[in-house]
């Protein structure tokens, strides 16, 4: 039985998926080229860890495609001195990438972002998934001028988006159609109708 060369697969992901899709940020390329993505997926999916697709994890959460992760992190324009809030898994792939860049990283789940209040305000908020709407309480955690990146759900399409927080308000602008898993905690509440 032939063994899988994960290092070669990682190099191929960086060269043929990320670089060819507009990912140019050196720290993102270096981190994703060094961090073993296969360590963040179930054993049964290790050989497909570098395919450009989502992978459902054992706890029901989703590891988004590498290209979506890279484009989102590049758009966040994370700097070493940023105070970053990640709505995602503390022991997940995106957290591991961010830890190569910043010292101040707080990770919470989308269902429990109120746990991040004590360390607010944040200069960057990264949401590892797609949302239909952002609750005001989340935006309240951001410093004025903070950057926020996320996926957004637009009908049947998901897009990557970036925005800036100004005086407690945020305007998101999509920049790329991309596969990114919806986060049920940020689903739009049904409207009351007669």
Domain assignment of residue 189, yes or no:
no
Nearest to residue 79, comparing CAs of 102, 98, 105, 104? 102
* Per-10-residue mean pLDDT, the chain, length 194: 83 96 97 97 94 93 96 97 96 97 94 90 97 90 96 94 94 94 87 63
Domain assignment of residue 145, yes or no:
yes
| pLDDT confidence of residue 193 | 62
| pLDDT confidence of residue 79 | 96
Domain assignment of residue 160, yes or no:
yes
| pLDDT confidence of residue 1 | 38
147 DSSP assignment: E
Domain assignment of residue 162, yes or no:
yes
Domain assignment of residue 193, yes or no:
no
* Dihedrals phi, psi of 113, to nearest 5 degrees: -70, -10
- 112 contact partners, CB below 8 Å, separation of at least 6: none
Task: Express the helix, strand and coil content of the chain in percent, nearest 5 each.
Answer: 35, 30, 35
| pLDDT confidence of residue 122 | 97
**Could you tell me the residue range of the domain that residue 44 belongs to?**
6-182
- Count of domains forming the chain: 1
DSSP string covering 70-123: HHHHHHHT--TT-EEEEES-TTSHHHHHHHTT-SEEEEE-GGGGGGGGGG--EE
| pLDDT confidence of residue 171 | 87
Pairing state between β 122-131 and 83-87:
parallel
Q: Can you tell me which residue has the tokens 């509440």?
A: 189
Domain assignment of residue 188, yes or no:
no
pTM for the model stands at: 0.93
At residue 151, the 3 state secondary structure works out as strand
| pLDDT confidence of residue 194 | 61
Which run of H or of E encompasses 175?
Answer: strand 169-177
Domain assignment of residue 190, yes or no:
no
Domain assignment of residue 1, yes or no:
no
Q: What is the CATH number of the domain that holds 12?
A: 3.40.50.150
């Amino acid at each position: 039985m032939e063994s899988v060369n994960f290092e070669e697969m990682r190099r191929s992901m960086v060269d043929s998926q990320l670089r060819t899709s507009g990912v140019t940020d050196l720290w993102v390329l270096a981190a994703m080229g060094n961090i073993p993505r296969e360590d963040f997926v179930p054993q049964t999916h290790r050989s497909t860890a570098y395919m450009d697709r989502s992978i459902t994890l054992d706890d029901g959460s989703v590891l988004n495609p590498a290209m979506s992760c890279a484009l989102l992190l590049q758009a966040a324009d994370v700097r070493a001195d940023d105070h970053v809030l990640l709505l995602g898994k503390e022991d997940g792939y995106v957290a591991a990438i961010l830890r190569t860049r910043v010292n101040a990283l707080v990770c919470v789940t989308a269902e429990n972002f109120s746990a991040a209040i004590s360390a607010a305000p944040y200069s960057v908020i990264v949401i590892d998934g797609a949302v239909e709407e952002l609750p005001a309480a989340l935006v309240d955690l951001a410093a004025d001028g903070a950057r926020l990146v996320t996926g957004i759900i637009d009908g049947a399409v998901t897009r990557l988006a970036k925005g800036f927080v100004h005086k407690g308000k945020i305007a998101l602008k999509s920049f790329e159609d991309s596969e990114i898993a919806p986060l049920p905690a940020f689903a739009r509440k049904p409207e009351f109708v007669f």
